[in-house]
Structures are given as structure tokens and as C-alpha cells.
A and B are shown apart, each in its own frame.
Chain A
Amino acid sequence: MAEKKAVKLISAEGFEFIVDHDAACVSNTIKNMLSSQGNFIENELGEIRFPEISTPVLEVVCKSFYFKLRYANTASKNIPEFKVAPEMALELLMAANYLDM
């Protein structure tokens, strides 16, 4: 399998977010879905649907993929704050729980 292919994440409303494979694998759930071991259909198509995650929440999720990758090896005092809007907090909590990230 082409390891570095982009991955498509589809929100409840049908919006498609295309992110790097490495970015998507910040989420352990997605990582498991995409790994060859799983035999998930998502692995073959390279796209995953999230009917329970709304678009703005999925957008923040994608942003946090890249945030994590960017600051993975930085000293904690240099890491800027990743702001989470309070209105979104609970939905994000559920999404982060499901995505294991």
C-alpha cells in the first residue's frame, strides 16, 4: 500500500477533509482503521466517514492533527495554546474520545 497517500475524512454533513496519512494517524482509531492488519474497507478506499461528527468539529480535529505533529518534539514552555471554543467543547470531547486522540 502507498504509505503516504492522503486520507479523506467525511463529516456528518458530507464535507470532505483531505489530510496527510501521518496527520490522520494522530488518532489511534483512524490509525487502526487504516493499518493493513484491520481489513477495514476504509483501508482500501483511503476515506473514512464520520456520521456522528459535525463539520466544524471535524475541522478542529484536523487542525489538532497538524498542531500535534508540529509541536511533537518541542519543549512544553514553547508550545502555544490550542484554543477550544466553549460551544464546541462537549462535541469535541465526544469526538476526541471516539477518535482516541
Chain B
Amino acid sequence: MGLACSKKCSLDEEGEGTAPTIVRLSPFRPRRWSSLSRRSLSAGSAAGGAGDSAVPSLLSLAADAAAADLAALPARALAALPADLSQLLLERLVATAALDDAAIASLAGLGLHFFSLPLGGYPELVRPAWLRCLASPSLEAADLSKTGVTDEALASLGCPPRLARLNLDYCVDITDAGPALLQGLTALEDLSLAGCEQVTPLGVRCLAGLTRLRRLNLQTCHAVSDLAALRALRQLEALDLGWCSSVGDADAKALSHFTRLRELSLARTQVSDGGVAHLNSLSGLRLLNLAGLSVSDDALATLLCQLPQLRTLSLDRCLQAGDKALAAACKHAPQLQELCLGYTGVSDNGLQKLAGLQQLRVLNLENCSVGDRGLEVLAGLTALQRLDLSDTAAGNGTMSHVGQLRQLESLNLAFSGVNDWGLKRLTKLSRLRSLNLDSRLFTDAGMPYVAKLASLECLDLFGARISDAGCASISKLANLLRLEVCGGGVTDTGVASLGALSKLQHLSLAQNYRVGNPAIQHIIKLNELTALSLSQSRVTSNSVVALGCLPQLQALVLYETRVKPMAVDKLLAANPDLVVQGVAPSSAASRSGSGAV
């Protein structure tokens, strides 16, 4: 019974605009078969079902088998696939990177329907022919970010009447012709053109007719301005204009009409005091990003009195922002959850006002002129999960207060005044997963305290003065995934202790000039390692080749070592997925070293 219903009702002749085929329920509508929501899109065939069993479901096995050999499948059977199964097949093809010209040729002309195109970041260029094949009247979402889609390809997409979400981030070849093509997409609710630097005010004007638009992202579109043209977009709830260097006060004035706005970013634009004043009418704002703006403390204070719904506020690098703005925010926006005050003029006196923010989860005070006196207020902020005190005068006194923040998951003490004795106060932070101790004040003496933080996953000891004794302490952190120890004091003995960290994925031992070839045999034990840096160490070619056996290694950094290109050749032969930085391979067909560690 179910099978008969799930077949499509008619098999269209190849024609545009003939009798519409009945389109099945899409995954994005509220009512769904519960089974489809349980099918996860995981890489490889180990897609688990609703239960915790590791046995892949028959559905995923069949989808993998079909995706693996698309050309062999009979066209008639393919054409009979219901829409949710053709969607599943497409997702498997994308996940296994099997979608290419040949695959598209197999799928073309069969009248297949797709609901979403999850092509973001696809390793192959998405060509117009692909979009001609994949665009169907049922399309509701398309992620084409970083696919190299051009205006011509966008034209092949046509105007699917139900397309509600379109992501064209970093498709740098898109010009104003692109937005002009989007004019017909009247159902569009979510449009992202971040990084499409060739879009100008002309292109922006083309978007004026998309009255259903609720989210618009124009981040890094340097030429964009003249937002008054968008005044018909009354439904706009989220607008990202970060790094739009042509956006100024006139545009801020135009924004004051968007009364439904909940999220707004004007980071690094040219908006100044005059423009900020216009934002007073946006009383429903929940997220406001004013990072990098040259606005005065008074202007910010006046604005922040009018935004009672604020949950997230960033004044990062607003150099003139200070205690007045902070006081206004704390008094009038008591529901604040995330507050970034990095590089502002906030002082110890101003920090007292934070006491009222009982829901604060994220606080960034990087490079603020604050110290133990002002940071006393932290004791009351028991909901804090992430705290950044880097580059402040925070000292051991503050650590007594921080030690009571039991919800803390991430703590940054780089370049602060805290030393080993401060770490003693932190041992009760059972939820701490990320800890940055990049400071010359931390030494081996503090590491036994760090070792008590059993849930730690990321530990950054970059410049800390850690030697082998410290490594022995660190090796007790069984859950560690990322570790950077680059202070120069580690030797092969230390690396031997670190070999116990079996879950480690990312390890940097750069600048430890006493680490040499004996260390490699310990590093090889770390089966989960994906990224490794041995720059400035004493390892040589003969031992380094052994690293080719690490099954998951993707990045290896070897700047200023004596490793020869021949060793790199051997490594790449053993592990084709590996990217080596710092030493070029000797072969003429050099592999692109564009992967970043």
C-alpha cells in the first residue's frame, strides 16, 4: 500500500510547464514521516537508525549502493523514484563526492524532484548543466556556497516557485546580474550573499521585490550601500552587513524602518554616532554586532537604553566604548547572554554593573584595563560558560571567583597576570573543556592542577614554560583532543609521556628544539591524530617517514626542520590525503599545499 502511494503519479514527457506532477511531502514541511527525520546524513555507510545500534539501516545501504554505481541503474527505475528517495540519493552522491558530469548525465531528463541541494563547499565546480538537471519545481533550499557558481549557472537554476533558502556565500564570480536573476524567486525567505564582492547597490536594488525575505546576509560585500532601496522588505528579521565598508550613516537611517529586525550586524562599517542614533527604533533587537565601529561611549549608552530584548551584544574593538555603555546595557538589557567587550575602554569601576546580568553565558574582556578589583563581580555570574580574560591584569585573586563558576566550559588566561598558584583555585571546574594558558607565567608547577580537570579537551600552552615534568602531568588528561606545547622546554622524554593521550587529534610541538627522532615512535601511537606540527624540532627525514602510518593524519607542519623533500614524497605516497607544510615535495607535480593546519 505504501509503495503504491509513493510512486509518482505520472511520468512527464520532456517539456516545460506541462501538467504539474504531484510532489511528495518535503522534509521541510511541518508534517513529516517520523522515519525520514531519523535518517541521518553521515559520511560513509555507517548511518545509524533511531536506536544506538551501529548497524547501518537497509535504506542507507541501498542508497550507498545506488550512489556508488549510478550509471548502472536502469533509467526507468530511477525515474520512478519518489522525491524523498531521489533526495536521499542526491545526498549520498554529495557526501561521497560522487556527483560529477557523468552522474548528472545519468540523472538528467528523468523528471526527478529534489527538495534541497546540499552542495556547499563541493570539491568540484558546479556547472550550469548540473543546476539545469537538479532544479525542479519542488526545490525549497539550495546551498551553493563556495561552489564557484557563476551568473550563468544561476540562470540555469531558473525560478523554482518554492525556493525559500538560497546560500551563495563566496561565489565570487557573481555580479549584479546574479541578484537580477533572483528577482523571480518570490518565495525567498533566506538569502546569503556573503563574500560576493562584485555586488553593488545596483544588485541590491534588484532584491527590493523579495518581500518575503526574512534573513539577508551581505557580509563582506564592500560595494553595497543604498539600503533605502530595500524599504519594502518589511519582514526582515536578520540582516548582516559586517565588513560592508560602503555602508554608512545614511544606510543606518534607512534601517530604522525595519521594525521587525531581531539580528543586526554593522561590524566594521562606516556607521558613526549619527547612524547609531537611528537604531533606537529597533526595540525588538536580540542580537547586535557593532564590532570595530568608531562610536562614542555616550552614543552607545543612549542606544543601549532602548534595546530591552538584547541577548547578544558585541562592542569588540569599539575603542571609545566604556563604562557608560556597559552601565546602560546592564541596566536596560538584563537578559543579556553574550557580551563581548574586547579592546574597549571598560574599567574596574564599570564592571560592577555586570552583577545584574544573571543570564550571562559568554563574556569577553580581552585587552580591557581591568584587574582583580573589578573582576570580583564574576563570583555572582554563575551561569557563565565562556570567559576570556586574555591580555587583562586579572590575577590569582580573580581565580578564586572563577573557580566557583561551575558551568564554565571555556577559559582564556593568555597574557594575563595569573600564574601557577592561580591554577590551584580552578580544580573544581568539572565542566571545563577548553583552557588557554598561553603565558610565560605558567610552568610545570601549575600542571598538576590542570591535570585534575578531567573533562579538558583543548589545552593551549603555547608560550608557557613547560618541560618534561609538565608533560607527565598533562598526560593524565585522558580526554584531551587538542594540545599545543611550544615553549621550547619539551624533550623526547616529555613526548613519551604525551604518547598516553590516545584521543589526541591535534598536537603542536613547534619550537621545541630538543625534540628529535626518538619522539616519533611515541607519536605514532596516537592513532587519532589529524594535525601535527614539529616545526623547529630536530627530527630528520629517516624518522619522519614513519609518520605515514598514522591513519587519520591530514596536516603535517615541518617548518625549519632538516627534513628533505624525498621524505615528503614517501609520506605522500603512504598517505595521499596528507598535506605537508614547510617542506615541498621533490616531484614536479607538486601537491597543492592549500590546506591549513
Query: Which residues does A use to contact B, with CB under 8 Å?
Result: 28-29, 50, 52-53, 61, 64, 67-68, 71-76, 79, 82, 84-101
The answer to whether B54 and A76 touch across the interface, beta carbons within 8 angstroms, is yes
User: Which 5 pairs of residues, A with B, have the shortest CB-CB distance?
Assistant: A76-B54, A52-B3, A84-B65, A89-B66, A92-B62
Say yes or no: A92-B58 contact (C-beta < 8 A), given A86-B68, A86-B69, A87-B72.
yes
CB nearest to B88 among chain A residues: A93
Sorting the interface of chain B by its residue count into under 10, 10 to 19, 20 to 34 or 35 or more gives: 20 to 34
Q: Does B4 contact A (CB under 8 A)?
A: yes
Q: Return the contact of A90 from the options B2, B54, B58, B66 (Cβ within 8 A).
A: B66
Question: B77 near A: Cβ within 8 Å?
Answer: yes
- What are 7 sample pairs from A and B whose C-beta atoms fall under 8 A apart? A64-B58, A68-B53, A88-B65, A90-B62, A95-B58, A98-B2, A99-B58
B281 within 8 A of A: no
For B3, what are the chain A residues with a Cβ–Cβ distance below 8 Å? Answer: 50, 52-53, 94-95, 98
Are B2 and A29 in contact (CB-based, < 8 A)? yes
Known contacts A86-B66, A86-B68: A93-B54 contact under CB 8 Å? no
- For A91, the chain B residues whose CB sits under 8 A away are 77
| Known interface pairs A75-B54, A93-B85; A86-B73 also in contact (CB < 8 Å) | yes
A86-B68, A98-B6, A100-B35 known; A93+B55 contact, CB < 8 A: no
Interface residue? B299 (CB, 8 A): no
**Nearest chain A residue, comparing its CB with the CB of B86:** A93
Further 19 A-B residue pairs, CB within 8 A, beyond A86-B72, A96-B61: A29-B2, A73-B53, A74-B54, A82-B56, A84-B62, A88-B65, A89-B66, A89-B69, A90-B77, A92-B58, A93-B59, A93-B81, A93-B88, A96-B57, A98-B2, A98-B3, A98-B6, A101-B57, A101-B58
Contact of A86 among B57, B65, B89 (CB under 8 A): B65
Q: Which residues of B contact A93 (CB under 8 A)?
A: 59, 62-63, 66, 81, 85, 88-89
Find the residue from A53, A90, A92, A101 having the highest chain B CB count within 10 A: A90
Residue on B nearest A69 in the bound complex, by CB: B55
Chain B at the A interface: SS class: helix
* A97 pairs with B65, CB closer than 8 A: no
* CB neighbours of B78 from chain A (8 A): 90
**Cβ contact of A96, chosen from B4, B46, B58, B89, cutoff 8 A:** B58
Q: Is the CB of A79 within 8 A of B54?
A: yes
B3 to chain A, nearest CB (A): 4
Q: Which residues on B sit within 8 Å (CB–CB) of A98?
A: 2-3, 6
Within the assembled complex, what's the spacing in Å between the Cα atoms of A75 and B46?
A: 12
Measured between C-beta atoms, what is the minimum distance from A33 to chain B in Å? 10
Instruction: Given the known inter-chain contacts A52-B3, A90-B73, please indicate yes or no for A76 contacting B46, CB distance below 8 A.
Output: yes
- Interface on chain A toward B: helix, strand, loop, or mixed SS? helix
Q: Tell me whether A89 and B65 are in contact (CB under 8 A).
A: yes
Interface string of B89-100 (1 = CB under 8 A from A): 100000000000
Complex Cα gap A29–B82 (Å): 18
> Which residues of B pack against A, CB within 8 Å?
2-4, 6, 35, 46, 49, 53-59, 61-66, 68-69, 72-74, 77-78, 81-82, 84-85, 88-89
CA distance A96 to B59 in the complex (A): 5
For B61, give its contact among A52, A75, A82, A90 (CB under 8 Å): A82
Residues of B within 8 A of A96 (CB): 57-59, 61-62
B4 contact set on A, CB distance < 8 A: 52
- In Å, the complex CA distance between A38 and B55 comes to 28
A30-B6 Cα distance, complex, nearest whole Å: 17
Nearest-neighbor residue (CB-CB) of B71 within chain A: A86
Chain B residue nearest in CB terms to A76 = B54
Q: Which residues of A contact B56 (CB under 8 A)?
A: 82
Given the known interface contacts A52-B3, A61-B58, A94-B81, the answer about A72 and B72 at a Cβ–Cβ threshold of 8 Å is no
Task: Kindly state the separation between the CA atoms of A97 and B65 in the bound complex, as whole angstroms.
Answer: 15
Residues of the B chain whose Cβ atoms lie less than 8 Å from the Cβ of A99: 58
Instruction: Indicate whether A79 sits within 8 Å of B55 (C-beta atoms), given known contacts A52-B4, A90-B77, A97-B6.
Output: yes
Bound together, the chains give a CA A99 to CA B68 distance in angstroms of 23
Residue in A closest to B33 when the chains form the complex, CB atoms: A100
Minimum CB–CB distance from A84 to chain B (whole Å) comes to: 4
Residue of B nearest to A85 (CB): B65
How far is it, in angstroms, between the C-alpha of A73 and the C-alpha of B72 when the chains are bound? 34
Whether the Cβ atoms of A71 and B55 lie closer than 8 Å is: yes
Inter-chain CA distance A73–B4, complex, in Å, is 35
Residues in B with CB closer than 8 Å to A74 are 54-55
Bound-state CA distance A85–B62 (Å) is: 9
Inter-chain CA distance A88–B56, complex, in Å, is 17
Give Cα distance in the complex from A87 to B62, angstroms. Answer: 11
Least distance between A50 CB and chain B CB atoms (Å): 8
**A28 in complex: contacting residue of B35, B65, B82, CB < 8 Å:** B35
- Please pick, from A67, A73, A76, A94, the residue contacting B85 in the complex, using a CB distance under 8 A: A94
- Complex CA distance for A60 and B72, rounded to whole angstroms: 19
CB neighbours of A73 from chain B (8 A)? 53
